[in-house]
Amino acid sequence: MTDLPRLSAAQAAARLGVKPESLYAYVSRGLLSRERDASGSSFDPLEVEAFALRRRRVLPRGVEPSGGGMPLMVLDTSLAHIEDDELFYRDRSVARLAHESSFEEVVRWLWDAPVLRAPDAADLEVARRAVATLADAATPLDRLSVAVTAFASTDPLRDDATTAQLTRVGARLLTGLPPALAPAAAPEAAVAGTLWRALGGRDTDDGPRLLDAALILVIDHDLAVSTLAARVAASARASGYAIVTAALGAFDAPLHGQASREAARMLRSIRSGDAPATAIARAVRDGGRGIPGFGQPLYAGADMRAVVLQEMLRGVRGGDEIADVMDATAAEVARHAATRPNLDLALAALELWGDLDEDAGAVVFAIGRLAGWITHAVDEYAQKPMRLRPRGRYVGPPAAE
């Protein structure tokens, strides 16, 4: 049996967010085990991860979990909500929308917009040229951000702060960003079709349909940090472009929009022949942020978005193989920690199945969530301006005498 890559004492302490002294106190109390050799102490990464999950603080009565973070405020929202582990957009089941509707149909319903107007060909060419100037090391999210700025630069109405302009800008970006990432391809009628080709998807009719469902599944999910950033910018009456730029700044982070990256690497390793335990342990050790693609505190059971996308994968040619890799990974994780697959694992699986470019999961997530950011911005425009400016409380050293 292959030995699992182990964590050093420093890595284990960092994962738990404690000092080395506390780590060794856990060992002395029998809460963690360790091995010692000439190089020092080492720890089983899956045992450390399971212990980290058990140590999560219980929230006070009446406080809802918010992505595992500390809730700063509670904001009313009229878009996404979860009932009995089922996600809804307003009064409609998201699972049903993913199966029965197109992304454009859902967006037009949310925005009360009869059509989604695309940018002019000349404006698209400006965005493509801007993206082409980036260095080879630029990430897909770098390219998205630059394209947003380019589209803003060609829009004479960019600063018109009305809800009608918000949805116009949103439509311009939803239909313009995918072809801006694919200079050699003409835009298709559907966002998913253009985006599939922009991300290097192999030639299959099933790909755009699965991608269409994924775009619907990621539109909104409580007040994620990127959504809060969008609402804060909208509170200051920023333009649609500035709102999306602010949201992308918060989105482009390993604990949010980039989370599918490590999950894809882990699944790719298992698909290529590594034992699930080995790949998971390596991912925990190298990432330092838990098990990639697992855990979603808003659900008592499974993340329904992952469930829906995995079910749809099983319905297409070649999808069973990737879905089985997901199941094998989940079964191994379940042996060590009470946590289940989340959206990031499903986006990673879609990336592998479609032979999509690296970080395709982050792009799919961002394009779909853009529809949610604009919807929240419309809601925020109806509120009092600047209401989301919190007051700071100074806790630093006293002023010098």
pLDDT band per the 50, 70, 90 thresholds, residue 185: low
3-class secondary-structure state, position 304: helix
Model pLDDT, residue 4: 67
Distance CA 175, CA 287 (A): 34
Angle at 197 between CA 324 and CA 97, to 5 degrees: 60
pTM of the model: 0.84
The whole-number average pLDDT for the span 288-303 is: 88
Residue 7 sits at φ, ψ, to 5 deg, of -90, 140
pLDDT single digits (tens) 136-168:
999 999 999 999 999 999 999 999 989 999 999
| Location of each CATH 1.10.580.10 domain in the chain | 80-256+359-381
Distance CA 37, CA 393 (A): 48
Model pLDDT, residue 61: 41
Q: Which residue has the tokens 């986006």?
A: 347
Give the residue with greater pLDDT, 237 vs 202: 237
| Average pLDDT of the chain to the nearest whole number | 90
Model pLDDT, residue 237: 97
pLDDT band per the 50, 70, 90 thresholds, residue 1: very low
**CATH node for 80-256+359-381:** 1.10.580.10
Model pLDDT, residue 19: 83
The whole-number average pLDDT for the span 324-336 is: 95
Confidence check: pLDDT of 250 > 90? yes
The whole-number average pLDDT for the span 47-62 is: 63
Q: Which helix (H) or strand (E) holds 16?
A: helix 9-16
CATH of 7-55+259-353, one of 3.40.50.2300, 3.40.30.10, 1.10.230.10, 3.90.105.10: 1.10.230.10
* Identity at 380, one-letter amino acid code: E
Give the residue with greater pLDDT, 8 vs 351: 351
Distance CA 348, CA 76 (A): 31
Q: What percent of the chain has pLDDT over 70?
A: 93
Q: Residue 152 is encoded by which pair of tokens?
A: 């803003």
Q: Residue 205 is encoded by which pair of tokens?
A: 């009719």
Distance CA 119, CA 16 (A): 48
| Location of each CATH 1.10.230.10 domain in the chain | 7-55+259-353
pLDDT band per the 50, 70, 90 thresholds, residue 57: very low
pLDDT band per the 50, 70, 90 thresholds, residue 48: confident
Task: Give the Å distances, CA to CA, from 126 to 121, 130, 196, 198.
Answer: 9, 6, 21, 17
pLDDT band per the 50, 70, 90 thresholds, residue 47: confident
3-class secondary-structure state, position 93: strand
pLDDT band per the 50, 70, 90 thresholds, residue 351: very high
Residue 17 region by backbone torsions, left for phi larger than 0, else alpha for psi between -120 and 50, else beta: left
Torsion of CA 309, 310, 312, 316, to 10 degrees: 130
